[in-house]
Amino acid sequence: MKKHFTISVDAMGGDNAPASVVEGISIAMSRYPELNFLLFGDNDVIAPLLTQCRVPSSRCEVIHTNEFVKSDDKPSAVVRHGKKTSMWMAIDAVKKGQADAAVSAGNTGALMIMAKFCLSTMKGIDRPAICTALPTKTSQVVMLDLGANAECDANNLVQFALMGSVYSKALFGVQRPRVGLLNIGSEETKGRDEIKEAAATLKGMQNAPFEFKGFAEGTDIFPGNFDVISTDGFSGNVALKSIEGTAKFLMSSLKANIKASWLAKFGILFALPALLKLKNRYNPNRYNGAMLMGLNGITVKSHGSATAKSFANAIGAAYDLARHDVISLIRNELETFKPLNPDNTDTASTS
């Protein structure tokens, strides 16, 4: 295993960039002494922040560019004219072997299309997917796709399941991940045709590196019944945003009710340790960092509104993926199960 890893960072991407990005790097450096950084962005703005956060120049090199991707830029336009942007340059560093992984909190659509064009899609994969892990009652569940592909066919869902199982095994040590397909019910008769077809394929796989457990409903995400849930990007993104919105609503409602009653304020003193533990366990910022899975290189998407600590967590996710060599593991599984995609003879194209 390598002793040192390099993460390339889009310093200008995100609502709070570059301040939160630089502070996040500072936090990550203290957590991971074996990490070095390539930071892409406007040096005139970044340099004072590096000094302020006491980031050592020996571990962080700044590559200057005054071009960056805006949150409202159209991905199709950016990919044609954005090769000098901080986002593209950070991804390109991975392609050139200068970095082990790239991290950006910038425009999701632009990041996906840039990463696909720059790194190309793995042979054996039709479409990349956005993948992350969410906390459950007992451990974590890996979900993909979370927004890259609004529509998916059965073959895409099978490929997502395979890649998600590799993620689960590599990062969480699950020997035989339990895989499910997100659906509107657990009955075999329910769901769209592509979901039923994917279920039939997964069920019929011989010597699969996972255990197919059937359909997963939205209520199955948190109890820990599944280790991997495969879905199309539309459904996955709706589920993720609903989860995040519910968490924020419950927290704000709890705070409002506590403030409204002196008895509740008194009672909270006894419940505080449990509540803090619960907050830490299910804090969305703790799980910041979604991999663009299925590409020939590691690219991690951070929340656009990420705080410094949250961005440091995204860096941690990129580091975990790099040190476990997830790309090689996925390639090995795809090589083993070539028949899953017999028509995909050149998925390295950027179309």
Residues 189, 121: one domain? no
Q: What is the pLDDT of residues 128-184, one digit of tens each?
A: 999 999 988 888 999 999 999 999 999 999 999 999 999 999 999 999 999 999 999
CATH of the domain at 3: 3.40.718.10
Q: Is residue 349 part of a domain?
A: no
Q: Is residue 329 part of a domain?
A: no
Q: Is residue 343 part of a domain?
A: no
Beta carbons within 8 Å of 48's beta carbon, 6+ residues apart: none
Q: Is residue 328 part of a domain?
A: no
Residues 79, 177: one domain? no
Q: Is residue 327 part of a domain?
A: no
Residues 305, 191: one domain? no
Q: Is residue 211 part of a domain?
A: yes
Range of the domain at 271: 131-289
Q: Is residue 342 part of a domain?
A: no
Q: Please, what's the b/e burial string for 278-301 (b: 16 or more CB within 10 A of its CB; e: otherwise)?
A: eeeebbeeebbbbbbbbbbbbbbb
Residues 152, 283: one domain? yes
Is this structure's pTM higher than 0.75? Answer: yes
Residues 197, 308: one domain? no
Residues 243, 308: one domain? no
Inter-residue contact 13 to 25 (CB < 8 Å): no
Q: What is the pLDDT of residues 248-305, one digit of tens each?
A: 787 788 778 878 887 777 777 777 777 667 666 666 667 788 999 999 999 999 999 8
Q: Is residue 169 part of a domain?
A: yes
Please state the domain count of the chain: 2
Residues 142, 249: one domain? yes
